[in-house]
Chain A
Amino acid sequence: MESGKSRILILEDDETVGSALKEILGRAGHEVFLAGRPDDANEILSKNEGIEFVFSDCLLPQMTGLDWVKQARAAFPSQKFQVILMSGVYTDKQFVQEATQGAQAIAFLKKPFEMESVLKLVQKKTVPKKEESSARKVLYQMFANPTVTNRQKRKTIESIEEVSGFDLPFLYSLLAETKSSGYLNIYNSDGSVSGISFCNGNIVGVDVDDKTTFLGEMLIQSGYAIPKDVQTALRDKNNRRIGSYLIQSNQLSPHAFDVILMEQMNIRLVRTIVDQKIRVNFATAEVEMSNPSIDSDTLSYYLHDWIASKISVSWLKSFYVMWSGNVIVKGPNYRDDHPALQMSLVKSLEVLPVRLGNQMTLTQLLDVKGYSEVAVYKAIHFLLTKGLIVFAQRSSFANPQEQLKVLKKIWAELHGKKDFEIVGYLESGAMGANSMEDAHGEFMSLIGSQPQDIHSEGYTLWCNIKKAVETAISVSKDSTKIESLRQESQRSEAEGRLKAATMMEDVKKALQYNQFAKALEFLAEVSKLNPEIQQLHLYSSWAKLGAIDPAAKMAVIKEVELELVQVPPEERYDALFPFVQGMLLRAKGDVLTARKSFEKCIALDPSFIPARREISVLMAQNKKQDVFNMDLKDMVTGLFRRRS
């Protein structure tokens, strides 16, 4: 059914009333069935699925309206209609109350009734549905309205039944940019509750179940403390907190510690950004400002980081299905000197800000030569999250070639997918849609009308897509079948993850022995089996830098830089991260900083042999170089110095 329109059954033995009601509701666009007797009504219910409203007279030829409603609910359990009772005879307050309760009716109409009130009644029940079907779209368009009120924000957030953890960066940004104060409570699928506190747009508190701190690692990594001091602080018998210990013993400044605490808040926020369905609730409240806090500017860096490192491209692809045909326009927050435009994801796409002013769609941006798909999706998502862009009206396909491009992309996503995976694809693209039918409707409008040339590639693709989607939706109605398919896929995914984990050990071994080409082969397989496996980007960068071909050096460096922005924050406090950074710096020719990175790596993990090896290589190179650069006197002295 078209959104906002309903299938309605009228059970009324008075032909005049029944016909008038049918005409009014029909004119308003609803599909209306009229029955004069309970038998007829039963027949209509048996032949027509999806009846949403039933108007029933209380006094019927064979039984009372109340009895009929009860038997109809029992006989047609799949019909989830809402009941409106009508009567011109029984209108006393007690009867109305008892009948309404007995039939679980949403209203009781006393005849004669105003037709307007009938329409309002049906409309009242359909409007929230219409809102819900596009709730997620409305959420992501909130920045289009520069004067969004707290109530509008709350209502929009409330109207969404479920979101993905990957939607949270947008919610954080929205609440920060609109200077909100209050609590965003996050209800996870495992029953746990997390919460983010906002004070005038600043994040002042992050409460998550997993309270791993990484404090020691952060202090060493950032260079604020040396491993020895951290070790001493951790061994401190007085059980003082590590930060206060270091501050009190003058080994750390309070400001430096605040910076570290902010980074800790970042890591906790990162823990909320997961590919799982969650529910959220935002309540405005007076929240006290506290220190440290994350302001909107700092949040920009974190958002960039999270989108680069946490949100998967496959999720973004599904998400942007609903926007792919819409024109991208600059949002109210856009300004040419906005710092977000200087961040690496945006900068990696040449002249992107110029293209944003050219009324392009996402599909067109993905076609720009030299633009990487990963960077386009992530940069666009970052700009949307910051409110720098919004999606305007859907552009109809300018020509069949354009539609063909979209159809090809969608078919590439759907082809080979199992039915429940296609359903998942539709669901994540239209999460918040009231029903699978609504999601289907939105999807079909996205792919456009059926191409007219039945011999064209576009026609074949369009039909393939339609068939695949409709089959998947029809299978999805069989919950047992879909569940068994889901379980089968989960088993195969689990097997894949296990295999990837085993293969990752082979990757590590190969890298230890400098067998970079072999490591790259394994990594290609690992990323197919489990693209979300931990440290994939780090090991991949290590292998790429190890196998670097001097002729293609710049391209590899660029590739590794894109890999490193995708490393999630929690993986950056492991010895591997500074090691790979060191490798990259060495490739770029910054030997001094590279050595510092290798030293940081050893400080975090003294048994990290490759870092020691790299330092030795750098030292040897340095020595070699020194022979040519040092003073002649020093060189001669060096040559004749007695070895100890």
Chain B
Amino acid sequence: MGKLDVKLNKDAEKLTVEMNGTIDEDVDFAQFDLSGNSKIQVELAGVKSINSCGIREWIKWMSTAGGAQIVFNKCPKVIVDQINMVDGFLPASGKVESFYVPYYNDDSGSEKNVLFRYGAEFSESSVTPPENVKDEEGNEMEMDVIESKYFKFIKK
């Protein structure tokens, strides 16, 4: 088994792709056919990391989806970073439905990923972060990203 585990599940409505692991030079996306689907839902919560080879493979793979409407769910930070940095990483017909935002508490050092959902914490042009994010000990946490950079893709 490679470093990336990809599960495809096709029903009448859509193709669901669930990914877990690392996207790097060892990935062989060719075996996961995206063509012929009108809607594709990609679940990314389990993606741990992606390197430059992985980015190139991803872009090639996504282009095989044709005009399918692609929805990305639970994008971890490593994916959001690529969406913000690399043109074409998010296909033209792609849409981020939800993504994680890292939070941090300076005093306790606690870290937490908070899911931002379309329509709730963000929309096409704005972000409304949850008012209070607390760690397990009840400490107030702060967003651990540079907002202007991290939320750039929302206004793309």
A residues at B contact (CB < 8 Å): 97, 100-101, 104, 128, 132, 151, 155, 158-159, 161, 182-183, 185-187, 191, 193-195, 197, 205, 207, 279, 281, 283-286
Contacts and interface: CB of A to CB of B under 8 A. Distances in A.
Given A104-B125, A159-B146, A187-B85, A195 B53 contact: yes
Given A185-B85, A187-B86, A191-B87, A207 B146 contact: no
Contacts of A194: 52
Contact of B52 (A97, A128, A158, A207): A207
B123 interface: yes
18 contacts: A97-B128, A100-B126, A101-B123, A128-B147, A151-B104, A161-B149, A183-B49, A183-B51, A187-B85, A193-B55, A195-B52, A281-B85, A283-B50, A283-B77, A283-B78, A283-B81, A285-B22, A285-B48
Interface string B113-153: 00000000001011010000000000000001111110000
B102 to A, nearest CB: 10
A183 B47 CA distance: 14
B146 A185 contact: no
Among all A-B residue pairs, the 3 with the closest Cβ atoms: A195-B52, A285-B49, A183-B51
Contacts of A197: 51
Contact of A104 (B48, B53, B126): B126
A193 B52 contact: yes
B79 to A, nearest CB: 10
A195 B86 CA distance: 13
A285 B123 CA distance: 31
Interface in B43-82: 48-53, 55-56, 77-78, 81-82
B25 interface: yes
Contacts of B123: 101
A132 B48 CA distance: 28
A128 B81 contact: no
A197 B78 CA distance: 15
A15 B82 CA distance: 48
A194 B49 CA distance: 15
B50 A128 contact: no
A197 B22 CA distance: 13
Given A193-B55, A195-B51, A207-B53, A281 B81 contact: yes
Give the interface size class of chain B. Answer: 20 to 34
Nearest to A96: B128
Residue of A191, A197, A284 most packed against chain B (CB within 10 A): A197
Contact of A183 (B52, B86, B145): B52
Given A101-B128, A185-B51, 15 more contacts: A100-B128, A101-B123, A128-B148, A158-B149, A183-B51, A185-B55, A191-B86, A193-B55, A193-B86, A195-B52, A197-B51, A205-B25, A281-B85, A283-B81, A285-B49
A103 to B, nearest CB: 10
Contacts of B52: 183, 185-186, 193-195, 207
A512 to B, nearest CB: 43
Given A185-B85, A193-B56, A207 B51 contact: yes
B60 to A, nearest CB: 13
A128 B145 CA distance: 10
Contacts of A128: 146-148
B49 A182 contact: yes
Nearest to A191: B87
B146 A158 contact: yes
Contacts of A284: 49
Contacts of A186: 52
B140 to A, nearest CB: 12
Contacts of B77: 283
B86 A207 contact: no
Contacts of B78: 283
Contacts of A286: 22, 48-49
B55 A158 contact: no
Contacts of B85: 185, 187, 279, 281
Nearest to A279: B85
A279 B86 CA distance: 10
B26 to A, nearest CB: 10
A133 to B, nearest CB: 13
A207 B50 contact: no
Given A158-B146, A183-B50, A207 B25 contact: yes
A155 B144 CA distance: 8
